Chains A and B, each alone.
Chain A
Amino acid sequence: DIQMTQSPSSVSASVGDRVTITCRASQGVSSWLAWYQQKPGKAPKLLIYATSILQGGVPSRFSGSGSGTDFTLTISSLQPEDSGTYYCQQANSFPYTFGQGTELAIK
């Protein structure tokens, strides 16, 4: 199975900050990497798929990059509503796997 490791596990940042979350795969996943945001008590929401394609309706301050084994989610200017837990997920091969999550808090 492909293991997905996110860092950091938690981060606290101020409104307007640039925030970067990384996701490393234990083996190459090509570009089959997606990012999700989850708020407490809610279902996950797709932010980015195929490494860098923004899901419809997602603000342009979110962006994704990477390839192979190393990927990044960047929030260019943090907003209060961006708090929550972020997960990466690979769909290169079954079983699909998620990262352990990164909790993002607003200072």
Chain B
Amino acid sequence: EVQLVESGGGLAQPGGSLRLSCAASGFIFSTYNMNWVRQAPGKGLQWISYIGSATNDIYYANSVRGRFTVSRDNAKNSLYLQMSSLRDEDTALYYCATYSSGSLDHWGQGTLVTVSS
């Protein structure tokens, strides 16, 4: 069974940093492209980043480019999101998700990031 477990969320100050992790199990992580998606409280879904299976392809939403960095460690079956220069509007539940055939087919339960002074 595919499992994705996000961690690392919490309270951060504006301008601060956080590193999110996503631990994967139940599938061959090294062969899957991965994504991060976030959802602000009471709002819709926003895709924020994609990383290819071999880290050769990386993409970001305009709103986070230059501030967030996605990475992965296939040996540890883990996906990461380094977030810096955090803003109030980055407050959201952050999900990791696998990519397949143009869709996000498996999702974790999310980790909550709150940016506030």
Contacts and interface: CB of A to CB of B under 8 A. Distances in A.
A100 B110 CA distance: 19
B65 to A, nearest CB: 9
* Chain A, interface residues (CB within 8 Å), range: 20 to 34
5 contacts: A34-B102, A44-B45, A49-B101, A91-B103, A98-B46
A105 B95 CA distance: 25
B47 A89 contact: yes
Interface in B71-100: 95, 99-100
B61 interface: yes
Contacts of A46: 103-106
A55 B105 contact: yes
A101 B40 CA distance: 13
Interface of B: 35, 37, 44-47, 50, 59-62, 95, 99-110
Contact of A50 (B44, B103, B106, B109): B103
A87 interface: yes
A1 interface: yes
Given A36-B45, A96-B35, 18 more contacts: A1-B62, A32-B102, A33-B102, A34-B104, A36-B104, A38-B45, A43-B108, A44-B37, A44-B104, A46-B103, A46-B104, A49-B105, A53-B101, A87-B45, A89-B45, A95-B59, A100-B44, A101-B44
Nearest to B6: A43
Given A43-B95, A43-B110, A98 B47 contact: yes
Given A43-B108, A50-B101, A55-B105, A96 B47 contact: yes
